[in-house]
Amino acid sequence: MLVDIKCSECPVFKSSYFSGLDPCDLTDLYHKKTCYVYKKGQDIYYEGKKPLGIYCIQSGKVKISKLGIEGKEQILRFCMPGDLMGLRSLIAGNTYPDTATTFEDSVICFINKRKFFQTTIRYPELSTRIMLTLSTLLEEAEKKITSMAQKPVRERLAEALVTLDEVFRSDGCSSVISLSREELANIVGTAVETVIRLLSEFKEERLIGVKGRKLLILDKKGLQRIAKTY
């Protein structure tokens, strides 16, 4: 598979952070970046590691998680093609506070720190976009804090399924969510058994379909009603 393509020919280029660069800078970026192919389940970076640059997802999906009490995984969010990963730590100059793991086979480009900052300085609209991204992530995080603080597990699980549906949907068709029960528990903040019991309830209520590990959202409106996300 050809992965080391020109940025201008990248499937995510139009909607990417770099769409505003002029051809010359774009060619330069292409020469400086490095493309890597990752198998499902591989770490791109991990908690405590020093950032050397940023990662841009060409294809695939990535899980961002954090270690909590006694090494228990807390899943924070998912990154999709076109997303930059590791922005935060690169900017703050800290080690990564979380771990990025591919969720399926993925192609991810690496741009080193110096090159990235050079480009950022030249393109103020890139800075603006980064601020926008950080702002959006922060708003989502604070919404999640509120859910965690105030909603019971059933509501949080419904909320998570609705969010996942949006993340995993390809085209218009209803998406298939393929996460282990444990991963669902690590998103919602509950025990695996509780997730299993609640999924059975949702299935009983014809809100979801269950086919082995794969979940199918059947009644998104119904789940949203349970989740109380208006």
Partner DNA sequence: CTGAAAAACTGATAAAAATCATTTTTAATT
Partner DNA sequence: AATTAAAAATGATTTTTATCAGTTTTTCAG
Which positions touch DNA (CB under 7 A)? 152-154, 180-182, 189-194, 196-197, 199-200, 210, 212-213
**Number of chain positions touching a second copy (CB under 8 A):** 42
* 52, 134, 191, 210: which one binds a second copy (CB under 8 A): 134
Binding mask 25-44 for a second copy (x = CB under 8 A): --------------------
Binding mask 91-120 for a second copy (x = CB under 8 A): xx-x--xx----------------------
User: Is residue 52 within the footprint of a second copy (CB under 8 A)?
Assistant: no
Residues 6+ apart with CB under 8 A from 65: 73, 74, 75, 76, 98, 99, 101, 186
Which residues have a Cβ under 8 Å from the Cβ of 170 and sit 6 or more positions away? Answer: none
Residue with Cβ nearer a second copy (24 or 149) = 149
Q: How far is the CB of 195 from DNA (least distance, A)?
A: 8
Nearest to 29 by CA among 11, 7, 59: 7
Whether 80 contacts 115, CB under 8 Å: no
C-alpha pair distances (Å), 132 with each of 17, 27, 126, 137: 11, 26, 10, 9
| Out of 80, 137, 192, 218, the residue judged to bind a second copy by CB under 8 A | 137
**Of 11, 50, 52, 145, which one interacts with a second copy (CB under 8 A)?**
145
Residue 165: strand, helix, or coil: helix
Of these partners, a second copy, DNA, none, which one is at the site of residue 182 (CB under 5 to 8 Å by kind)? DNA
The residue count of the chain comes to 230
